[in-house]
């Protein structure tokens, strides 16, 4: 059966949702257990943060500062 033929099958959708929930729990546990100062999720975290600050400026959250 082609992947397109699986869309809408309740068991397939439930299995996908359960797997997505498991991944979300692992990700949440990871980001919750590490001090944000030491957490790097991607190779371009600093660039993403710089663009965020350029886009949103002073209205952006000031509770976090980029790594030195």
- Write out pLDDT tens, residues 17-46: 999 999 999 999 988 998 888 888 889 999
> Looking at the predicted structure, is the pLDDT value of residue 53 above 90?
no
Of the CA atoms within 13 Å of residue 41, those in its CB half-sphere come to 12
- Band (3; pLDDT cuts 50, 70, 90): low
**Structural domain boundaries in the chain:** 10-59
What contacts 67, CB < 8 A, 6 or more positions away?
37, 46
Chain centroid, CA 37 distance in Å: 17
Mean pLDDT taken over the chain: 83
- Prediction pTM value: 0.48
* Alpha carbons 59 and 26: distance in angstroms, whole number: 31
């Amino acid at each position: 059966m082609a992947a397109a033929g699986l869309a809408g099958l309740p068991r397939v959708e439930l299995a996908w949702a359960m797997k997505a929930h498991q991944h979300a729990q692992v990700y949440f546990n990871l980001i919750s257990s590490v001090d944000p100062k030491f957490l790097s999720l991607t190779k371009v975290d600093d660039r993403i943060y710089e663009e965020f600050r350029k886009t949103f400026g002073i209205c952006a959250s000031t509770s976090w500062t980029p790594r030195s």
